[in-house]
Chain A
């Protein structure tokens, strides 16, 4: 049995990908002074926000094999918590953030408890339907912009200070949130709890036969993932200073799945890379043609048919990095 030590050169080698990713993200604002700073900053901020959402999805999809197709609902819930509170004059993040998280957790608890009673395609379709329900709820909120969404009066304040107004400060706040979310997920997947979730992915019957009532573990996992994604929604609303039902279309849920799979399921840093790959690809392709989806759609089909394990899998294969 080989158990690599926690520190030393082994650590750097094993953790090379996340270390490089976070180092690049931390340095970017300094490099980006050349010209297109604000464009690049806002693009990468967006990437990091979606990375949090993808990370949260990877927790249940990659580690728990729960194909949730309504995850974008939590982006919307987090976003609307910010929007609705600030419309009523409550702009402090110390109020907005807990509300955003609590609303997301509650929605996850209720819909998760119903969805997890089912399996397989039923689970996929039911999470999809609940996501759609949240979408229609937002559309019907005429007082808060309905279909068109609502513009915020500004970003959240902290202790009444307008800290996040500065794009660079906001960038680092988002980076911190991403780092925190990543650390939390890393901790969870190797913890006792995470081991139960991973075991359920491999063989649910075996897990039940050694005494784990899986429903409650999966439900807690679902709530954690939903809450984390609510955090992403909170940040997204702040970045755009705008919320709309478009946050929670089912296509958006599909895109989150694409990000996770593109980066490689069940790797966590893969979710970050996948979010970056997806958004940058979208940015790049739509620079060529407004019909970028005609390129991206078939690309997706080809990835599924020929490149199992996503981009991280491809990188690992190219590097000849043994057996994953």
Chain B
């Protein structure tokens, strides 16, 4: 049983082909710069050899065709016929309120996905392009859509409602949806398996932090709150996104800088966050280098970034009525000891005791980093969104 997982972004496509029996990844790679000069497909062969295929890739359809072509090729391939791929799983960013779990893609689902474009105008269209391309190139192969928002559909109304006129929710669906659902779901389940505790009886806070980031409160296996809102700008301070901001500031900036809606959107999404505060970079590794050199703005960016995560952990502890497990995942969550340490500092009052030495010595593997005496287990769980998508696809295929 082989399942292809596709993650189509606005100018990129990431793919992994899984052999489900062994959960082995038999092909993986990504296309970048679709529709731009210098587009390429980069793949890693099973022996670790990296291959770069350069050429014009003007749209997603062509990109997917090349991905399939490479997998079929004698030189770099791993399959003899496209029929060997039993199903394709797509990461779809916004499922709105219509989707609370992964679904088999039908014409009706595609129509509903088109309706969700308004909620995620940047993300959903490329996801749909990927679905159309597979429909065209592999018309017989079932496709499954796995939503970033679905896991959070269990949030209670008081958690997802904004304090604005209710009519706006009714008119446009303005409410909090949350993202990174696939990752929060995977790591929260995985941590329970890892610790050998029942998923349905835990109070878990998962911090998925990378270039984008969100924190989720999970009670008895259900997401009850998450830091991202209707769009991925809410919540944590991210690489280039502002996170939570006084709404009054937005209109103030627009007026002072003579800015339109497009300008303010770019400002909050691309010029803010760690990049905006530090003026150096959105990459945490460069921020750390800046801190080593005594750059004050780098120091400020790091403290602001860490403090915001801590605030969310604290408030979700209140929402959950206590915490059993705190999970760190995502590029920064898995690798950046100083952020984990800052978040957990002085939290003994609520039962978090981090083993600083252990925390400093580990990265990107499944490991408990709290002291044995800690009431709250603090754990690093590397996320695997692609595998989760592949599993969901398999489950749906087998009618589970």
Partners in one complex: no
Instruction: Report A's interface with B, CB cutoff 8 A.
Output: none
Instruction: Enumerate chain B interface residues (CB-CB to A < 8 A).
Output: none
